[in-house]
């Protein structure tokens, strides 16, 4: 019986470095404000916006807009589906990196 290589469990949407970094940052928190996320990931507003919108279209993250006082703010959060896909992706990476693909 041939065991499927763990690379088949990788989530294609998370193969992009910015999307991977964004989901990794969101995994440990309930939500993060857009500007804080942008600074943490060291990307421009447009890069973060484009990648976040892509992940939102896949149901991986949620983008919520609101106000703090009179200032508009945007928050990013992982969905339950996003948390599940993240866990699967990380498990596949660990299996590949740990050499479990060849057992």
- The domain spans of the chain are 10-98
Residue 102 has pLDDT above 80, yes or no: no
CATH class in words for 10-98? mainly alpha
Q: Extract long-range pairs of 43-49: CB within 8 Å, 24+ residues apart.
A: 43/18, 47/18, 48/18, 48/22
Structure tokens at 77: 């959060």
61 and 80 in contact (C-beta within 8 Å)?
no
Question: Tell me: the pLDDT tens digits for 18-58?
Answer: 999 999 999 999 999 999 999 999 999 999 999 999 999 99
Looking at residue 92, its pLDDT comes to 93
Buried b / exposed e along 93-103 (16+ C-beta atoms within 10 A) = bebbeeeeeee
- pLDDT of 1 reads 63
């Amino acid at each position: 019986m041939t065991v499927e290589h763990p690379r088949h469990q990788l989530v294609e949407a998370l193969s992009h470095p910015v999307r991977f970094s964004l989901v990794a940052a969101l995994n440990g928190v309930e939500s993060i404000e857009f500007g804080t996320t942008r600074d943490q990931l060291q990307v421009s507003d447009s890069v973060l916006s484009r990648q976040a919108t892509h992940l939102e279209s896949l149901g991986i993250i949620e983008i919520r807009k609101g106000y703090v006082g009179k200032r508009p703010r945007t928050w990013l959060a992982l969905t339950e589906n996003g948390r599940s896909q993240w866990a699967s992706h990380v498990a596949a990476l660990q299996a590949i990196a740990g050499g479990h693909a060849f057992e």
